[in-house]
Amino acid sequence: MFFTYLRRELRRRRKAALVVASGLALGIALVIVVSSVSSGMEKAQGKVLQSLYGLGTDMTVTKAAAPPTTTGQRPRFNFGANDNGSDKEQSSDRVLVQGFQTLAASTVSKVDSQHGVADSVGGLSLQVIRVNGQFTRGRFQQNGNGGGGRGGRQGGQQPPQGRVEGGGANFDVNNYSVYGTDVTKPALGPLTSSKITSGRTFTTSETNAAVVVADTSYAKEKKLSVGGTVTVKGVKYKVIGIATPDSGDAAANLYMPLQQAQTLAGAKDKVTTIYVKASDSQQISSVKSTIQKNISGTTVTTSADLADTVSGSLSTASDLASNVGKWLSIAVLVAAFLVAGLLTSSAVSRRVREFGTLKALGWKSGRVTRQVVGEAVVNGLVGGVLGIALGLAGAYVVTEISPNLQAQVGGSGGGGGQGGFGGFGGPGRRVASKALDVTLTAPVSLSTIAGAVALAVAGGLIAGAFGGWRASRLRPADALRRVE
């Protein structure tokens, strides 16, 4: 009887039911789109941060760079004299530890032993400054009058008169970044944010091998290929692989085994950054506190700390989605619920004769109320189905359009390179040298759909509460007064 009457009444009042369902559908669809876009923002932000840390890294441990001093050592380049009369090209490399003060390699073991740490690995960030060019010897051009004319100095000849033409120096200064990675733990570190698109990555046995993996952009610029060589501070390294970063910007131009990087920089058993993976992603804050407490002088930076430094159109869109979108969704939902409730209450007012007659025939107030609430819940579920369909369509459109957003990541402290030279920042804290392009998607999760269903039921219940309260107050006498 309940469902028969329910079906008949909904069919009789299709237009009113459609208006209520449409209002709820718009509110639910907006919630789904905003939620999915917010999820896409988080995913895009994760890609940006992954370009700094690497896949699987939850935090980094560093030691802040010492403040610059006026008496600090500056890069010096020494070139040998060339007396054989030929113009010979000369070059000199200066390898600098970049960004942070170094930490003892034993610190990695200390971090690894802390409670809540699943794994950790050290790395060394370097900057290589290369000066390459040649000196050209000038030529002395003597004046035409010679040096033996009248008026020479007493007791000797007058020195030849003339000028030096040509000569000079032409040198090019180039700098690039090198990162020493612990090849025995390939699952951590910034290289994990790149995909090997040519050649191979390091093997665990190449702890001190003269091999490198080149970033794809740097390899293209310098015309490097797998099997070729690159010279760093007089040492030839074989290129074994080309790495393409997932987010469009690499942590370094060249990657090499940690021991080789330490030898180049004269930093034996030193690292600049320790990459840490927590055993439980929900306990990152407590792991951070534990490391800072037990290992003094270190700075622990989590992905949550760096999230606030993301700027550009990604940050703007994220703020709009999380703030404006959230409040707009709430406002639309509240309006939809109120409209649904008022329309349901108004419909009950127009059905006074019907409900009064049913009460006169023996229907109790509770039964009438359940009938009204049932109709409202069905309207809410219909609105939920429509809202989910509209929301999925909106999320699909956003994903298909895939708008490109730009993001820049500011450093978490410390200056740039040493000795007054700029350049790339160290992995884990560098100031982005260029904007990163990320593609926005709008993934819809099952929890979002479940939330939409819950909102639909809630909207129906709220509308039913308005109408049920109105119906419960009706008396059979009201219906009799309206009978003509």
pLDDT digits (tens, 9 = 90+) for 226-257: 999 999 988 999 999 999 987 656 678 999 99
Burial of 166 (C-beta count, 10 Å sphere; 0-12/13-18/19+): exposed
Confidence of residue 8 (pLDDT cuts 50, 70, 90): low
CB neighbour list of residue 373: distance below 8 Å, 6 or more residues apart: 460, 461, 464, 465, 467, 468
Residues 469 and 368 in one domain: yes
Domain boundary among 273, 297, 321: 297
Residue 360: CB atoms within 10 Å: 13
Q: Are residues 98 and 217 in the same domain?
A: yes
Position 396 in a domain: yes
Question: Does residue 70 carry a pLDDT above 50?
Answer: no
| Banded model confidence at residue 225, pLDDT cuts 50, 70, 90 | very high
For the chain, give the mean pLDDT: 75
425 found inside a domain: no
Of 24 and 319, the one with more pLDDT: 24
370-380: average pLDDT: 78
pLDDT grade, residue 321 (50/70/90)? low
What pLDDT is stored for residue 210 in this prediction? 95
Nearest-5° Cα angle at 161, 157 to 162? 155
Q: Are residues 133 and 170 in the same domain?
A: yes
Asked whether residue 333 falls in the same domain as residue 280, the answer is no
On whether both 203 and 331 belong to a single domain, the answer is no
Is 334 found in the same domain as 281?
no
pLDDT value at position 160? 63
Last residue of a domain, one of 272, 297, 322: 297
Number of domains in the chain: 2
Within a domain: residue 14? yes
Q: Give the pLDDT of residue 157.
A: 59
DSSP per position, 228-291? -EEEETTEEEEEEEEEEETTS--S-SEEEEHHHHHHHHT-TTEESEEEEEES-GGGHHHHHHHH
Asked whether residue 109 falls in the same domain as residue 47, the answer is: no
Asked if the model's pLDDT at residue 368 lies above 90, the reply is no
In a domain, 144, yes or no: no
Q: For residue 77, what pLDDT is reported?
A: 54
Predicted local distance difference test score (pLDDT) of residue 363: 74
Binned at pLDDT 50, 70 and 90, residue 411 comes out as: very low
Most confident of 123-132, 205-214, 295-304, 422-431: 205-214
321 and 272 both lie in a single domain: no
Query: Which residues lie closer than 8 Å to 370 by C-beta, 6 or more apart?
Result: 2, 468
- Asked if the structure places residue 347 within a domain, the reply is yes
User: CA 92 → CA 75, 80, 181, 241, 295, distances in Å?
Assistant: 11, 10, 24, 26, 38
Mark residue 69 as left, alpha or beta (left: phi above 0; alpha: psi -120 to 50; beta: remaining).
beta
At 444-463, the pLDDT tens digits run 888 888 888 888 788 777 77
Q: What is the dihedral of CA 301, 307, 312, 313, to 10 degrees?
A: 160
User: Is residue 415 in a domain?
Assistant: no
Helices (DSSP H) in 54-135: which residue ranges?
Answer: 106-112
Out of 72-81, 85-94, 387-396, least confident range: 72-81
Structural domain including 227 reads 64-70+90-139+163-297
Say whether both 29 and 115 belong to one domain.
no
Residue 247 CA neighbour count, 13 Å, CB half: 29
| 463 and 319 within one domain | yes
Q: Say whether pLDDT at 258 is over 70.
A: yes
Task: Please say if the pLDDT value at position 430 is more than 50.
Answer: no
Q: Please report which confidence band the pLDDT of residue 18 belongs to, taking 50, 70 and 90 as the band edges.
A: confident
Is 158 inside any structural domain?
no
More confident residue, 173 or 397: 397
Q: What percent of the chain has pLDDT over 90?
A: 21
326 shares a domain with 279? no
In a domain, 350, yes or no: yes
- Does the pLDDT value for residue 468 go beyond 80? no
Examine the domain organization and report whether 127 and 269 are in the same domain: yes
Distances (CA, A) of 172 to 271, 369, 436, 439: 30, 86, 28, 37
Structure tokens at 156: 């000797």
Task: Assess contact for 38 and 404: CB atoms under 8 A.
Answer: no
Closest C-alpha among 438, 284, 470 to residue 373: 470
pLDDT at 124: 92
Q: Which of 264, 297, 330 is the last residue of a domain?
A: 297
Q: What is the pLDDT of residue 434?
A: 47
User: In terms of pLDDT, which residue wins out, 6 or 243?
Assistant: 243
